[in-house]
Amino acid sequence: MKISLLQINPTVADLAGNAGLIESAARMAQNSGAELGITPELAIMGYLPRDLLLRPAFVKDAWKALGELAKSLKSCIPVLVGIAQPNRNKVGRPLHNAAVLLAGGKIRQIFHKTLMPTYDVFDEDRYFEPGKGPQILALNRCRLGVSICEDIWNDRDFWRRRRYHDDPIEKVAPRGVRAILNLSSSPFTVGKQALRERMLSSMARRHKKTILYCNQVGGNDDLVFDGRSCVFDGRGRLIARGKAFEPDVVTVDLDAPAEKLEFDNTAPEEEIWKALVMGTRDYLRKCRFEKAVLGLSGGIDSAVTAVIAAEALGPQNVIGVLMPSGYSSKGSLDDSLALAGNLGIRTHTIPISTLMAGFDSALADVFAGRSRDIAEENIQARIRGAILMGISNKFCSLLLTTGNKSELAVGYCTLYGDMNGGLAVIADVPKTMIYRLARWRNATGPVIPQACIDKPPSAELRPNQTDQDSLPPYDLLDQILDLHILEHKGLDEIAAEGFDRQVAARVLNLVKSAEFKRKQAAPGLKVTDRAFGTGWRMPIAKK
């Protein structure tokens, strides 16, 4: 039996568009000789619809679109499509996370997801009632186990500590199934594909079953999906893998498997770069923007963001804005213009010294008797933020913020200033990784001026300012932040690992006190296991 994994890039709530993607991929699968197609999880709705799922009209419209899709596929192969199904029982959550078999123009069978993730960015227990019992599809004299995303993430032999008491795969595998299918929408984080493949290989080997894993691709809000759909045979061998960060149709013959492996570079720099480029492109496209604008400071963060934007959107669709003050160095201006020239993006230079003087004059009576401090520094950042938002409005261009994760973690950013914008491209990328990305990108063709990489980072809001006036060195800061944010370690645990207790205490206090800023930050593309986005749920008012 030949089965195709339909790795598509859906848009949340674009029911007709998503149905069209499924139909197109299904016909490609049919042309390859497949007898069954499998979509990602909730494919016709797009993952994740979040509270759209609470609107009965949205769910009703999705089923109407599914019915139309079934008719369109009447002469095509059967397709297993992800959708949310109303829960007809009087008890429980309002919906099931379902996979629906379309065949011969009709809905033939429905299967339900069993395990509901409620960690990090996931909140499925809010919407979905778990399925019960083994989910089995009988097709063309072949029995297939059906699972949906989280259902495969609870194998007792692979995980040291399991999250759930039940394992749906353990229940379906002994039921005479030829293979196990998985409809997935598993978001990207750096290094996750290697983990997925180890897990799926272990599971296939343990149950002696072929496992076919179909993952979504594309960006939806802060989440990026990397595709890389794959198939493991009953001995745990990888026999097929789809493209990374691109749509694909992967067809496998269960009776005569032949390797079809797309090359996959899992180097962190390449993974993160591709995720950010695709996430930026899809965020703008799906929010109906064609152009982007960003401030160019001559620093490494705005340089990396500009290169990502130019690659994602095309240089003709990116505007860089230089806003020098009396504290801006000539090198910063030269480096910004050199970067823009290398990329081929347009620039505007708007000096802000006169505007700063106007604010100083307007506030002179209010600030009388007080020395200049962070208030005046932040006004500079807010002048720049207002200019960028004005250009964004005037030219219908999305403003990209250029702050990195290290800065956002400790609040080294100005609310309503450099935090302004519609998308924070590198908000989940630590400063040390920013440098790695810059060097990696320049190795394929130097576009970022070396001075941007070599110079000490500075906000240039006062004379001779550098970031290290206010923060520990970034290599030290990022290590402490990783222990605290990714590994949830507190002060005693961090100090026990050899870090200076006073420095660590200061960093942790900065993280805590900056929570109110992060709550108001632009959405950021998630590329690590713990991002300051929908999965970060910390209180602001706390002791």
Cα of first residue to Cα of last residue in the chain, in angstroms, is 61
**Could you please report the per-residue DSSP string of 361-392?**
HHHTTTTTT----HHHHHHHHHHHHHHHHHHH
Distance CA 146, CA 6 (A): 15
The one catalytic residue among 76, 149, 214, 230: 149
Task: Give the containing element (helix H, strand E) for 313.
Answer: helix 300-313
Is 452 noted as a catalytic residue in this protein? Answer: no
From the list 129, 80, 89, the residue with the least C-alpha distance to 108 is: 80
User: Using H for helix, E for strand and C for coil, what is the string for 434-503?
Assistant: HHHHHHHHHHCCCCCCHHHHHCCCCCCCCCCCCHHHCCCCHHHHHHHHHHHHHCCCCHHHHHHCCCCHHH
Distance CA 452, CA 297 (A): 10
Distance CA 92, CA 96 (A): 10
What residue has token string 């420095």? 503
Task: Give the containing element (helix H, strand E) for 229.
Answer: none
- Alpha carbon 478 to its chain centroid, in Å, reads 21
Determine contact, residues 405/530, Cβ cutoff 8 Å: no
Is the preceding omega at residue 48 within 30 degrees of 0, hence cis?
yes
Helix segments in 92-191, DSSP class H: 168-172
Is 149 noted as a catalytic residue in this protein? Answer: yes
Cα-based distances in Å from 432 to 12, 52, 210: 33, 38, 41
Determine contact, residues 119/153, Cβ cutoff 8 Å: no
The one catalytic residue among 41, 124, 150, 407: 41
Partner residues linked to 146 by β-bridges: 181
Residue 91, both tokens: 């008890």
Angle among Cα 537, 542, 543 to the nearest 5 degrees reads 140
The one catalytic residue among 23, 113, 243, 291: 113
How would you classify the pairing of strands 346-349 and 318-322? parallel
Phi, psi of 228 (to 5 degrees): 60, 35
What residue has token string 């089923």? 63
Question: Given 3-state DSSP classes, what are the helix, strand and coil percentages for the chain, each rounded to the nearest 5?
Answer: 40, 20, 40
Residue 202, both tokens: 């272990």
Is 41 noted as a catalytic residue in this protein? Answer: yes
Distance CA 439, CA 414 (A): 27
Active-site residue numbers?
41, 113, 149
